[in-house]
Structure 1
Amino acid sequence: MLPTDAPLLEVTGLTKSFGANRVLDGVDFAVPAGSVTCLIGPSGSGKTTVLRCLNGLETPDAGVVAFADGQRHDFSAPAASARAAKADRGALRDRSAMVFQHHNLFPHLTVLQNVIEGPVHARGIAKETAIAEAERLLERVGLAEKRDALPHELSGGQQQRVGIVRALALRPDLLLFDEPTSALDPELVGEVLLVLKELADEGWTMVIVTHELGFARQVADQVVFFDEGVVVERGHPTEIFAAPRSERTRRFLDRLLRPLEE
Structure 2
Amino acid sequence: MSPTDPVDASVVLSARGLTKSFGSNTVLRGIDLDVRRGQVVALIGPSGSGKTTVLRSLNGLEVPDGGTVSFGGTGTFGGAGAAGRAGAGTPLALDFGATVGKRGIAALRDRSAMVFQHYNLFPHMTVLKNVTEGPVQVQKRPKADAEADALRLLARVGLADKRDAYPFQLSGGQQQRVGIVRALALKPQLLLFDEPTSALDPELVGEVLAVIKELAEEGWTMVIVTHELGFARHVADEVVFMDGGIVVERGPAADVLGAPQQERTKQFVKRIQHEV
Q: What letter is aligned with 1:168?
A: L
Distance in 2 separating the partners of 1:103 and 1:52:
15
Indicate the residue corresponding to 2:59 in structure 1. 55
Q: Choose which of 130, 133, 146 in structure 1 pairs with 2:149.
A: 133
CA distance in 1, matches of 2:230, 2:195: 14
Residue of structure 2 in register with 1:98 after alignment: 114
Which residue of the partner structure matches residue 64 of structure 1? 68
8 Å contact 2:237–2:253 — kept in the other structure? yes
Instruction: Specify the SS of the correspondent of 2:20.
Output: strand
Structure 1 distance, partners of 2:196, 2:31, is 22
Gaps of 5+ in 2: 1-7, 75-91
Q: What is the match of residue 44 of structure 2?
A: 40
8 Å Cα contact 1:5-1:33 kept in structure 2: no
2:12 match: secondary structure:
strand
Alignment of 1:1-262 (within 5 A): 6-70=10-74, 71-77=92-98, 80=99, 84-260=100-276
Aligned counterpart, 2:86:
none
Maintained 8 Å contact 1:110/1:147? yes
- Contact in 2 for aligned 1:75/1:85 (Cα 8 Å): no
Give the direction of change, closer, same or farther, for the CA distance of 1:194–1:224 in structure 2 (3 Å limit): same
- Cα deviation for residue 32 of structure 1 reads 1.2
Answer whether contact 2:28 2:245 (CA < 8 A) is retained.
yes
Deviation at 1:254, TM superposition (A): 0.8
5+ unaligned residues in a row in structure 1: which ranges? none
Shift of 1:5: 8.8
Distance 1:133 1:107 in 2: 21
What percentage of residue pairs aligned between the two structures are identical? 66
SS in 2 for 1:14: strand
Q: Map Cα deviations across residues 192-233 of structure 1 (whole Å, 9 max, x no partner).
A: 000000000010000000000000000000000010111111
Shift of 1:258: 2.9
The letter for the 1-side match of 2:24 is A
What secondary structure sits across from 2:239 in the alignment? strand
Distance in structure 1 (CA, Å) of the matches to 2:63 and 2:206: 34
TM-score (norm 1): 0.94
Conserved? CA contact 1:103–1:160, under 8 Å: yes
Per the normalisation by structure 2, the TM-score is 0.89
For 1:119, the aligned partner's letter is: P
Deviation at 1:89, TM superposition (A): 1.4
What is the distance in 2 between the residues matched to 1:130 and 1:148? 15
Q: Distance in 1 between matches of 2:185 and 2:215?
A: 13
Aligned residues: 252
Q: Which letter does structure 1 place at the counterpart of 2:58?
A: L
- AA aligned to 2:104 is D
Deviations 1:79-107, CA, capped at 9 Å, x for gaps: x2xxx332221111000000000000000
Residue identity matched to 1:216: A
Q: In 1, Cα distance between the equivalents of 2:198 and 2:31?
A: 24
Shift in Å at residue 51 of structure 1? Answer: 0.9
The letter of the residue matching 1:218 is: H
Q: Deviations over 1:133-179 (max 9, x none)?
A: 00000000000000000000000000000000000000000000000
Contact 1:51 1:176 in 2 (8 A): yes
